[in-house]
Amino acid sequence: MMQVKFSCRPCVSNSLLLFLCIFSLNINAHHSHASLNPNDIRTHRGVVEEFGWGMPHVYIKASAPNSSGEIVVYNIELLHPPGMLQRGWDKDSLKKGDQITWEGTTDYNPNRYYSGLNWAEKADGTRLSMTAQSMEVAPSNDFTGLWMRDLRGGRPFYAPPEDWPYSELGKEMITSFDENNNPQVSCINPGIPKATILPYPMEITRPNTDTFVFTYELREHQRTIVLNQPKTPGAASVLGSSVARMEGDTLVIETDNFKADRWGIHTGVDSSDQKQLLERVSLSEDGKSLDIMMVVTDPVYLTEPVIIDYHMKKMPDRQLIQSPCTLESARFFLDAGF
């Protein structure tokens, strides 16, 4: 089987823009920002025209003078709502008419007014930063808690893996890969395993010792996994039908009965109704990390199974956030940047 290890090596930089690993600190987004020049950081002063708080990205539209003194509208894309909350923002941080000064990276194209954000300062001196606030993290001893992608090693999340054993149909899909085909641009959330590797938190709860509930923040998906129960297929879905068992301290989940799903395996890789998924979930000794090995089989797009070796880290306990996706927010980057 082909093995693919997913992780991201932490980077240290003063420019904290939307999970560009070359100059960000553990900040996540679901597409790249190749149009922004990390070496061109500018300070702007303007007026907030719109502050959008929703999935998949919070954004600001602000009118400000360009380099020629002409008043234009800058588009500033931020993180998803949970990421912004962790940085001290909320839905009332800005409002239309607020005067702000902000610093951020600049689009390579001087005719596109798309800006990154390191910080924004309001007229009263309030500074809104993109630096995550340090919070206490309580360990888990039974898988429960709020979990987030653990950024170890490389970052092969925003493009199809190049070395997977693709079928001819899979190869055609990879050759024609276009980030703009992301189903989330249409507020459609793919199922597992893609749902697991999206850069949004996942909560695990246990209503009783034999039941695990996986809830994906900012998405409607929720999986209920019951140990040692026979499979009850029902209608095919993007989450499929699962059976589960414990092997020592490892939770083992086997799932099939999927329906076809756009980008249901990985970024740019669809899945069919023949997909099968094996997940092995284990908890670290200190209770602050999850290791998730996912074995994906789909003969329509793959000639042999692949392994996704994935890691998550424990987040501070808080209430799960469910902010509705809006098409304006989802498609923001299509007009603003790429």
More confident residue, 322 or 250: 250
CB half-sphere exposure, 258, CA atoms < 13 A: 26
Least confident of 74-78, 91-95, 246-250: 74-78
Confidence of residue 200 (pLDDT cuts 50, 70, 90): confident
The stretch 17-38 carries a mean pLDDT of: 47
DSSP 8-state code for residue 200: S
pLDDT tens track for 249-266: 999 999 999 999 999 999
Highest-confidence segment of 96-105, 124-133, 177-186: 96-105
How high is the pLDDT of residue 25?
31
Least confident of 124-128, 144-148, 160-164, 327-331: 327-331
The residues with which 202 forms a beta bridge, in sequence order, are 147, 216
Instruction: Give the three-state DSSP class for 45.
Output: strand
The stretch 56-80 carries a mean pLDDT of: 89
In percent, the amount of the chain with pLDDT more than 90 equals 57
**Is the whole-model pTM more than 0.85?**
no
Confidence of residue 332 (pLDDT cuts 50, 70, 90): low
Mean pLDDT of the chain: 84
Q: Is the dihedral of CA 82, 83, 88, 90 positive or negative?
A: negative
Q: Is the pLDDT of residue 175 over 90?
A: yes
How high is the pLDDT of residue 330?
63
Highest-confidence segment of 97-106, 108-117, 253-262, 321-330: 253-262
The residues with which 121 forms a beta bridge, in sequence order, are 101, 127
Q: What is the DSSP string of 229-297?
A: ------S-BSS-EEEEEEETTEEEEEEE-B--EEEEEETTEEE-TT-EEEEEEEE-TTSSEEEEEEEEE
The stretch 194-200 carries a mean pLDDT of: 89
Domains of the chain: 31-133+329-336 (2.40.50.140), 145-314 (2.40.128.20)
More confident residue, 50 or 15: 50
Cβ atoms 71, 61 nearer than 8 A: no
Confidence of residue 331 (pLDDT cuts 50, 70, 90): low
The stretch 54-83 carries a mean pLDDT of: 88
Q: Is the pLDDT of residue 1 over 70?
A: no
Q: Is the pLDDT of residue 73 over 90?
A: yes
pLDDT tens track for 279-317: 999 999 999 999 999 999 999 999 999 999 999 999 888
